[in-house]
Amino acid sequence: MAQSSLYNSHLSFHRFPKKTSLRARWLHKIRRVGFSVTPHTKVCSRHFQDNEIHTTAKGRRVLAAGSVPSLFEWNNYTTKSRAGVWEHRSRPPSPAPDSAGPVEDIGHPVMVPMVVDHDYEASRTVCVDREQYEGALREIEMLREQLQTFNLHHSFGLKRFRHTKRSFLNL
């Protein structure tokens, strides 16, 4: 038995196949840029499904013929099975459209959907008071107008002196 089995009896290391087509499939699945295979390059048994590894009578762990590594960190060490063509999955019922239209009620909070980027967000929606929201929008618009007028009055450079008759080149 290999010496590595002394430390972990559930983990084994396997050589790359000699068959070029199977070796190419292994390299494609591994997804490593600039990866080159040497005679000593091994792949850990964690990257293979349990049904692809067999134990011989002497206790040696070997791969089944044609096995390809498929379990990696980027797929959370799982394989997802695709739904069959004839499988029908029920969809949740769609909400019926309200014929009365949206109701404007200033006293109640408005639910604003958030973009879900990460799993550490507390909620998918944020409660915002409509008055606070509209007040913030008015303040943003006022600040934008102030910035525009400031930029017009305080432009830098010789452009602001273009209406004077004094020549700046003869200073």
Give the residue, 159 or 43, on which the prediction is more confident.
43
What's the pLDDT score for residue 113? 60
pLDDT exceeds cutoff 50 at 40: yes
What's the pLDDT score for residue 52? 86
The CA-based dihedral angle spanning residues 142, 148, 154, 158, taken in that order and rounded to the nearest 10 degrees: 180
What's the pLDDT score for residue 1? 42
**What is the DSSP code string of 27-56?**
HHHH--TT----TT-EEEGGGS-GGGEEE-
